[in-house]
Amino acid sequence: MAQKRDYYEVLGVSKNASAEDIKSAYRKLALKWHPDRWVSGTDAEKKTAEENFKEASEAYSVLSDPQKKARYDQFGFDGDQMGGGGFDFGGFDLNEILRSVFGGAGGFGGFGGGFDFGGFGGGSGSRSTRGQDIRTRVTLTLEEIAKGCTKTVSIEHNRPCPECGGKGTKNSSDIKTCPTCHGSGQVRQAVRGIFGMQSFSISTCPQCGGKGKVVSNPCRRCHGTGLERIREDVSVQIPAGVQEGMQITVPNQGHADPNGGPNGDLLVVIREASHADLLRDGVNLFYTKVISVMDAMLGCEITVPSLDGPYKIKVEPGTQSGTVQRIRGKGLPAVQGYGRGTGDLFVKLMVWVPRKLSRSEREKLEEMRSSSSFTPDLSRDDRAVFDKTKNIF
């Protein structure tokens, strides 16, 4: 078993860190390692993200509690043996921790509106059974991401049979307690070990499938399952600023539970369509514009694409190839809970030099070649541009 890391080391803070510093450090790690951000990763990456996320959450659950923190500072990991209820890592409510750090009604990210970034671990209410979740994908354009949108997805999910009301039979008298498990839904079997010692294993009852009840006169429509598979269109509210691989949870739109428990959820994974002109990096957008050598020397006005339509910018006389102009506020908004503000649009200007010239054009340029205006004399700004572009190699 791997040795636990010091909680202060996990969060990257000192022992003298304030409560706000501890909260801020955990927030950054939770944003980085939350499994919803790694749904498109490899199995190894997903496992690493989940382990790091749980490690950070455990550290925060101790260091954010003054009593637990004082006990940990004095006794270290042995603090859970020193009374006071221990650290109780198995029972802390992870969603409550995330709500306290990020705010909002959702479990993570504060999307609100019923969105919950999936979740695992802890929880204040235990449920014996729950319907299975359904995972699907939606593809969004940058324009849709910039403003947020509503998408309709068509899914197939199990719902209670309309003929028997989900009971598996029309007559309640035909539902009997399972004689094998006596209503528990589980069976206990004795297993003899290699040294003759006896132990027990618990498994799902093979007769009732874990329901604890059997139907003697099953419904003809659902054949006693109590469920019917139907196709429905579900509207999904997509907040502005989402990124590739993010997951939005639509509660109760998964499969119905055959035992009468809560429905599962619909998990919607975001896919991002490529844009014809713009490249995305976080909240910022990038565009490359090719201009003629004459426009670069004399200056001009050009039109560049943006997510809310064409945008005009001025090219100053003497603009060098590789110059980047920044248009503030023309990027993407930060998704709620993952940052603030709106990104920028960066336009890189590349100067095109003609490969062929007519004789008269060449003669005119030859006359200008010896002019001091065409002799390189790099200013501070020019050097900054060239220093950036030479790092490409």
- Ordered by start, the domain boundaries in the chain are 7-106, 279-390
pLDDT tens track for 48-71: 888 898 899 889 989 988 888 888
How is domain 7-106 classified at the CATH fold level? Answer: Helix Hairpins (1.10.287)
Pairing of strands 175-177, 345-352: unpaired
Q: How far apart are CA 22 and CA 200, in angstroms?
A: 45
Q: Which of 91, 94, 18 is nearest to 56 (CA)?
A: 94
CATH 3.40.225.10 matches 279-390: no
Find out whether 61 and 92 touch, Cβ atoms under 8 Å: yes
Show pLDDT as tens, one digit a residue, over the chain (393 residues). 457 788 999 999 998 899 889 988 998 898 888 877 776 678 888 888 888 988 998 899 899 888 888 888 877 776 554 444 444 444 445 555 665 665 543 344 433 333 333 434 333 333 347 889 999 999 999 999 999 999 999 999 999 999 988 888 888 888 888 898 888 888 877 666 555 555 566 788 888 877 788 888 889 999 888 899 999 999 999 999 999 988 899 999 999 988 788 999 999 999 999 999 999 999 999 999 999 999 999 999 999 999 999 999 999 999 999 999 999 999 999 887 566 789 999 999 999 999 899 999 888 888 888 787 777 666 666 566 556 555 543
The residues, any chain, with a CB within 8 Å of residue 178's CB and separated by 6 or more, are 185, 205, 207, 208, 211, 212, 213, 214
The residues, any chain, with a CB within 8 Å of residue 383's CB and separated by 6 or more, are none
pTM over 0.75: no
Give Rg (Cα) of the chain: 31
Q: Quick one: tokens of 336?
A: 């709620």
Which pLDDT does position 285 carry in this prediction? 96
> Torsions phi, psi of 274, nearest 5?
-70, 145
Q: Which of 128, 135, 123 is nearest to 254 (CA)?
A: 135
**What value does the mean pLDDT of the chain take?**
81
* Largest interatomic CA distance in the chain: 106
